[in-house]
Amino acid sequence: MDDEYAKLIRRLNPPRVVIDNDACDDATVIQVDSVNKHGILLKVVQVLTDMNLVITKAYISSDGEWFMDVFNVVDQDGKKIRDKEVMDYIQRRLESNASFAPSLRGSVGVMPAEEHTAIELTGTDRPGLLSEVCAVLTDLHCNVVNAEIWTHNTRAAAVVHVTDDSTGCAINDPKRLETIRELLCNVLRGNDDSKTATMTLSPPGVTSRERRLHQIMFADRDYERVERAGFTRFEDKSSRPHVTVLNIERDYTVVSMRSKDRPKLLFDIVCTLTDMEYVVFHGMVSTGRMEAYQEFYIRHVDGLPVSSDAERERVVQCLEAAIERRASEGLELELCTEDRVGLLSDITRIFRENSLCIKRAEILTKGGKAKDKFYVTDVTGNPVDPKIIDSICRQIGHAKLQVKHNSVLSPKPPRETTMGYIFGNLFKARTFKLIRSYS
């Protein structure tokens, strides 16, 4: 009865969205008021992320039965959202009652869809792994049309969309899917995998590819930091995220995060808090030229704040992992060329033969064109020799493969005193909360 009553309340009080270009000089302000329910913050942030909007500031308040959030957003060029069609589409998406945040599924496997087959992979990361996976798929007459690959803390996860290379359609034959599963498991397992790679056949879902990657890596416990024997790599510890978890009030745990700013950072953090079954009651997000600061008042879904040192340490580890998984580590290479069957297998083979290690990749095929991004280091995780990159570009073609960005040479954000930064911003959040309560 309580669940039916909650549904009735939501139907009688649909979300209200206001998009304002006059309230702020340098950003479009989006205000969302709605009946509160678990997961609504993730739904809103995912809609903004799917539209490739950059969130520069945010104020979150969802205590009690009402959700009232304000987001300052800009487009990829740092400009306000002026297109009327885009603004109307954002409003329609945010005012929809459809859920964009289904519960965590524990299985990882092969999911047939109408246009393609979604293959979800997880295993121990090693140099050349993506090349081996692509080679197996090519041998099995599977064409990779879209994919996203993340690596973190010696673990690798991928969501790969494939079609039959002769028909261009999804692969639905159970025997063929089982063969794909078995061979890919063998590749992922490798010769020495202490964490067995598991894959199962799962029904298709509506979860976004990026959300699934967070779920897969969280379930794989990639947040447990391990050291790989035999490898020494360059690591600038000053660039690592700084996360603190404090119980300074009886009813809430305050989580503060400071890190290098990047696109989709808020989405990654909210995904992880949701998967860990924490609820954000109040929060603020502020970004500068290079740095982002986020602060949230949270409780577990059972209504309790973080209650032990072990739980506090786990929250810190999981949020650090959420920030680091999508960090643009290494050299960014962009491939733009005509798509063909086996293209990804050929490109990743060339990378492997030149001792490049792919830390992250985004594979996109549209209108017969392949537009792929690869973030690469050498096999030890250190910067790649420019001579090797020049040789690879000559082999593939300078017009097809270009160097876009080198994170190693990027300027580092300024460091500030930790406690002063935390409590200074905590005062802002508490002030905001008091203002909202009296308004």
Per-residue pLDDT of 331-363, as tens digits, reads 999 999 999 999 999 999 999 999 999 999 999
Residues of the chain with pLDDT under 50: 98-108, 200-203, 229-233, 408-439
Q: Mapping DSSP to helix (H, G, I), strand (E, B) and coil, where does residue 175 land?
A: helix
Q: What is the DSSP letter of 76?
A: T
pLDDT at 104: 38
pLDDT at 6: 54
pLDDT at 13: 63
pLDDT at 410: 46
Task: Return phi, psi of residue 144, to 5°.
Answer: -80, 120
Enumerate the β-bridge partners of residue 121: 158
Q: Is the dihedral of CA 35, 304, 276, 58 positive or negative?
A: positive
pLDDT at 96: 78
Enumerate the β-bridge partners of residue 204: none
Please state, in angstroms and rounded to a whole number, the distance separating the CA atoms of residues 427 and 282: 13
Kindly report the pTM of this predicted structure: 0.83
pLDDT at 205: 57
List all residues 6 or more positions away from 424 whose beta carbon is below 8 Å from its beta carbon: none
List all residues 6 or more positions away from 100 whose beta carbon is below 8 Å from its beta carbon: 42, 43, 46, 47, 206, 208
pLDDT at 63: 74
Give the start-end residues of each E strand in 200-252.
200-201, 242-246
pLDDT at 344: 96
List all residues 6 or more positions away from 391 whose beta carbon is below 8 Å from its beta carbon: 354
pLDDT at 10: 52
Per-residue pLDDT of 26-84, as tens digits, reads 999 999 998 878 788 999 999 999 999 999 999 999 877 778 899 999 999 999 999 99
Residue 288, token pair as written in the block: 């500068």
pLDDT at 87: 93
Residue 385, token pair as written in the block: 């020799």
- For residue 68, which of 30, 23, 109 has the smallest C-alpha distance? 30
